[in-house]
Copies of this chain bind each other. A is one copy, B any other.
């Protein structure tokens, strides 16, 4: 039998795969999300067909690459979310962790968020067939934390999921805008968003001259 050889081969294949992913990483970091398969292959010192043998198609490579960064980011966020501190402090620290990450590597961020994928003929609207995008995973994760930690009364599960996705979307959109315009410091942004979540919108008074928003 050839079990030892099998595992040997699998091991080497896995190592090769990691190398290829790292090369792809470098290229994406340099060229942005529209990096070509040729370019990635060249960076890895090989040619296209091997890439296709390892990842199937461009979507497969995207999925693998995205998974790496997504997992890493989610781990950071989980750490911030689980830190021993008061709720508000945790929220702020989680927001800050996310913003720091996208600030540190905008190219990677753009690759993850704007994958420019085009699925065909979505009968019935079948978003994201292969890799559940980062936003969804973050939303589900946050929903889980909310449901585990907060007492929301009846319908808590549904509410937690809505909030999870909603809060993540808020963070994402605000971060995207902030990254493009840099209208304020990261700390200010974090505080403003936390204030929003803390109900300052409902608490604010109307401006003179008519009923408020």
Contacts and interface: CB of A to CB of B under 8 A. Distances in A.
Interface of A: 31-34, 81, 84-88, 90-91, 106-107, 110, 114, 116-122, 125, 127-128, 135-136, 139, 145-146, 148-152, 158-159, 161-163, 165-174, 176-180, 183-184, 188-189, 192-193, 195-208, 210-213
Nearest to A208: B151
Given A31-B121, A88-B202, A199-B200, 8 more contacts: A34-B119, A107-B122, A110-B122, A151-B206, A151-B208, A162-B189, A167-B201, A170-B173
A173 B168 contact: yes
A87 B86 CA distance: 30
Contacts of A174: 162, 165-166, 169
Q: What are the 3 tightest A-B residue pairs by CB atom distance, in nearest-first order? A: A199-B199, A169-B173, A34-B118
Contact of A166 (B81, B84, B119, B173): B173
Q: What's the number of copies of this chain in the assembled complex?
A: 2
Contacts of A162: 174, 178, 184, 189, 192-193, 196
Contacts of A84: 211
Given A169-B172, A213-B145, A32 B161 contact: no
Contact of A116 (B86, B118, B205): B118
Interface centre among A179, A183, A196 (most CB of B within 10 A): A196
Nearest to A150: B204
B207 A148 contact: yes
Contact of A203 (B33, B135, B199): B199
A105 to B, nearest CB: 11
Contact of A151 (B32, B151, B169, B207): B207
A136 B86 contact: no
